[in-house]
Each structure stands twice: as structure tokens, then as C-alpha cells.
Amino acid sequence: MKRRLPAEWEPQDGVLLAWPHAATDWAPVLEQVVPVFVDLAAEISRFERVVVVADDPAAAESGLRRSGAQRERVEVRSAPLNDTWARDFGPIAVEDEDGERLLLLDFAFNGWGLKFPADQDNRITRRLADGGAFAVPVRSVGLVLEGGSIEGDGRGTILTTSECLLGPNRNPHLDRAGVEAVLRAELGADRFLWLQNGHLVGDDTDAHVDTLARFAPGDTIVHVACDDPGDEHFEVLRRMEDELRGFRTRQGRPYRLIPLPWPAPVADGDGRRLPATYANFLVLNGAVLVPTYRDRRDAEALAAVARAFPGREVIGLDCRPLVLQHGSLHCVTMQLPKGVLR
């Protein structure tokens, strides 16, 4: 029976988080980043459950006690971690066409094309399954695929980037037709929208689509847009927007496009530009969490996301510390659809 990849805005059981610790790349800025995870867990727990994977459960418990999180909705599980990017090593849930059975797919994770160690993170989904976290079966898939590299509309359309999915550092044995064949079989996808343009300076992921363009209800795409002709991103993001304008819905109509504002450049202590993006938001039951960067355009970004998700509470979360390791809010979370958690 044909599978279906649920859209992120469909009902959820909870969200997976991985807690930062001193053996991760967060070590130099741990005091800055832990409060972000504390606030993130607290906000998610207002709406649904939080599953926290921690190398040091006691440290996570200590942080959560300070968070004001609804503790009956927070569960901490012990497992060794390389890092905290749950979007990319967490499970991807699919359902049968009749919606009666869920399955978690455990794709291979190789540290964004062998850039970083990932041996422990690649085992997280299986360890959670073996520990009884899930109410549904888990199946391993022999394809390197990160959750941040694909967007699904819940109706069989996948939005992605050629730079990431067709790069030689993930699945060099597969061309575009080969990748589509696997995603068609595993995710039930029958339409693919490939972006040839779009990237953020400082991004380690080879242009994950969740930093650039996101599906929203009603055949809507929310996307980053650079309005500064002097910025190094201006031309490539203009070409990306032209591509988005050329895409058509299943009914043959243009997508409704909602541009996101362009924040001022954010740099690390050595002056290297970091990939601050408002597109890296997380959809929850009844809410959307949006990354903010202490920027004058933060409020404008919240308003744009609210237009895409009417009726949901839109909440800004200071993610400036997260971009110090080249990711943001969506990158450190993975939603678990309704029926997944035990």
C-alpha cells in the first residue's frame, strides 16, 4: 500500500530534542546554548510532549527543572551523542494511505557528507526504539538522508535542493532518478520540486531546504528573500525565488509565496558569517516557534509566518546562540506525528 509523508502541521505526539553537552561542538559556548534548549523544551511542552535524548541525563534534568516546562510532558532518555541536530538524525514518520498504520524510517546519517563524526547520532533512532520509546515499528533505510533536506506537503510533493540530495558526499551511486525512486518508495512521493539555486554562507548542510523554503497549508511556500543588493546572497536568492514562482501545484496553479525578511549579517568571534534564517521555524500543535536573532526584523518575520499559519500562536525564540554552530531551531528538533510515541 502506498505510503504518505505527513506534513509538519498535522497533529503531533511530540518533538525529539538532543541535549548539548561538553563533548559536543557546543563546548566553547555551552553556557550560552543550554538556555536556548531550556526555553525550547518549555515552549514545546505547552503544546505537546518532549522526548529529550541526553548523554548526561542528570544535566538535562537540571536544566529542565529551571525551565518551567510542564514536566509531565517531558521525558529524558539516556544515549551517547555526537551532537544535537535531531532534525537530521531523527526518525522520519510515514503512514499508509489509509492512515491506519505509522512507520518510522531510520535513514542513514553520515554527518552531512562525512564533515563531522556521526557514529553515535546515527544510532539514536534505533536506541530509542530498543528502549521502548515508540509505539510503532522502525525500519532502517539504506539511503543517506537528513530530515532538513526535504519538505513535504502531506499530499505527495517533496521540495528539496539539488546541491544537497544530488551531492557526491551522500549517495554517489544514485543520480536524480535514483534518489526519486527511493523517495517514491519510502515516502510515497509522486511529485518532486528541485531547487537548483539557494544557499546560505556558513551552512554546513549543502543547502538544506529547511533553511531556504518551507511548505505551509493552502499551497503556500514560505521562503527567505534578500532585499539588499549589496549582500552576497542577493543574486542566488533572487534566482531561487524565480524558481519558486515557476513551480506549480498539483492543480497546475502557482504557489502562494510568502517572503521572509532578511536579517542583518551574524558573524562568529572570528568574523565568519553564520547562516541566520527565519525559514528554520518549527510547527507544533496550535503554534509555530520561529527563530529570532536580536534583529530589527524579527517582528516582521513573526508576522510573515503568522500569515502562513493563521489560527496558530506564533512564538519567537532567541536562537542567536544556535547559529554559532551553523544551525537553528528547526535543525535541533524533529516532530513525531500523532500515534508515534508510546
The catalytic residues are 331
Residue with the three cell numbers 540530495: 165
C-alpha cell at 230: 549589496
Q: Quote the Cα angle for 184-308-45, to 5°.
A: 85
Q: How far apart are CA 92 and CA 95, in angstroms?
A: 10
Nearest to 193 by CA among 178, 209, 204, 182: 209
User: DSSP character for 248?
Assistant: B
Helices 30-45, 57-65: axis angle to 10 degrees equals: 70
Q: How far apart are CA 80 and CA 82, in angstroms?
A: 7
Pairing of β 92-96 and β 102-108: antiparallel
DSSP secondary structure of 313-338: EEEEEE-TTGGGGT--TGGGEEEEET
Q: How many helices (H) and strands (E) does the chain have?
A: 9, 19
Residue with the three cell numbers 533512532: 125
